[in-house]
Amino acid sequence: DDKRLSELGIKILEDTSKLPDIILYDADKNRIIYVEAYSSTGEFNKDRVDYINTYCSYKNDIEVAFVTAFATTKKMLQVYPKIAWDTEIWIAEEATHLTHKNGDRFMGRNPEEFL
């Protein structure tokens, strides 16, 4: 829905290969979640995250999260060094968990809670 994406500040990019497979919006938490299946275009690396953030001007203090989805841990480990910091990793083998590539910032959690 181009109109809704525009309302959220997400531009339809000329190079659609830069857009993720899925764009979710969580209205309760005012959060956009980009999900990329590794098997389709690859991981969210730094260049790709920067590209999307450069061309999208998010409105209303929207939080943005990037999730690379993998079928197996083995596939994830093959490209782990390329995955951008401050992004999420989801693996079908462990479907009830997300891994945040950093540690001091979690989706929906305040790091102060852990001090």
The structural domains of the chain, with segments of one domain joined by +, span 2-114
Beta-strand ranges (E) seen in 42-94 are: 63-70, 88-91
Dig out the tokens for 90 from the structure: 């989801």
Reading phi first (left if > 0) and then psi (alpha if -120 to 50, else beta), residue 12 is in beta
Would you say the pTM of this structure is higher than 0.75?
yes
- The model's pLDDT over 64-79, given as tens digits with 9 standing for 90+, comes to 999 999 999 999 999 9
Tens-digit pLDDT profile for residues 38-60: 998 899 999 999 988 887 777 76
Report the CATH fold assignment for 2-114: Trna Endonuclease; Chain: A, domain 1 (3.40.1350)
